[in-house]
Amino acid sequence: MIANYRLRYRPLRAGVAISSAELGTFGTLGCLATSDGQDRWGITARHVLTRTNALRMDVFQPDLRVVGALVSESLADMKFVAGLDVVAFRIARTITTTPVILELGAWQGVVEPVSGMTVVKSGFATGVTRARIGQVDAEGFQVLPEPGMPPGYAAYAAGDSGAAWMTQDARLVGIHVSQSQQGATGRALRLRSALTRLGLRLVV
């Protein structure tokens, strides 16, 4: 895990570590969304925050100086999609946000995944890494390490769950949700579809 991802950045940005009162383990804030142009919602993998059907949750941004800095509204409303490993939590109104990913910069929108596409992510466990999209299906896509990387190269690991995969032209494609035990393959959900089903749109 990379210490920079545990700092309390303000304005709040994607790519940083987050945790919940329920689990206390770390995942990654993938991107920021809105329902009405005014509110702000954080998007991540559902299993990062909860293993239950809780509709309200305190979400924290770990900090090397301040333990458990609350970033959600207290007992924040949560948005789920049945059967999909994605969740949205309402960010506290007192916290300013910016539509950028730590170490990657601003995103320019959202796009559908295409097999063979080169993508990059910034996540709590492995930092900034590159990969390519493998097989694509109705709900998500396979993520594969880039060809030519040396043995042991880690494109993703458990703490990267929730991180957004981004194209070379800064379009967000999906939310990282899992990887095989040896890290040979990963899995991400289609972001555009997930946002639509959550009733949200990407903040740009």
Is the model's pLDDT at 41 over the cut of 80?
yes
C-alpha closest to that of 177 among 159, 192, 162: 162
What sign does the CA torsion over 154, 165, 54, 20 have? positive
Residues in CB range of 138: below 8 A, 6 or more apart: none
* Domain 3-102 annotated CATH 2.40.10.10: yes
Give the pLDDT confidence of 16-37 residue by residue, as tens digits: 999 988 888 899 999 999 999 9
Q: What is the pLDDT of residue 176?
A: 98
Question: Over the stretch 134-149, which tens digit does the pLDDT of each residue have?
Answer: 999 999 999 999 988 8
pLDDT at residue 2 above 70? yes
Q: Which are the contacts of 120, defined by CB distance < 8 A and separation ≥ 6? A: 104, 128, 129, 130, 131, 165, 166, 168
Q: What is the mean pLDDT of residues 162-174?
A: 98
Mean pLDDT within 99-109: 98
Could you tell me which residues are beta bridge partners of residue 61? 69
Backbone angles phi, psi at 198, to 5 degrees: -85, -10
Which residue spans of the chain are classified as CATH 2.40.10.10? 3-102, 105-195
Q: 70 falls in which pLDDT band (50, 70, 90)?
A: confident
Residue 65 reports pLDDT greater than 60: no
Architecture of domain 105-195 in CATH? Beta Barrel (2.40)
Give the alpha-carbon dihedral of 98, 100, 105, 107, to 10 degrees.
-120
* Least reliable range by pLDDT among 86-90, 107-111, 144-148: 144-148
pTM as predicted: 0.94
The pLDDT, as a whole number, for residue 1 is: 58
What's the full length of the chain, in residues? Answer: 204
Measure the CA–CA gap between 165 and 150, rounded to whole angstroms.
21
pLDDT of residue 64: 59
63-72, 126-135, 162-171: the lowest-pLDDT one: 63-72
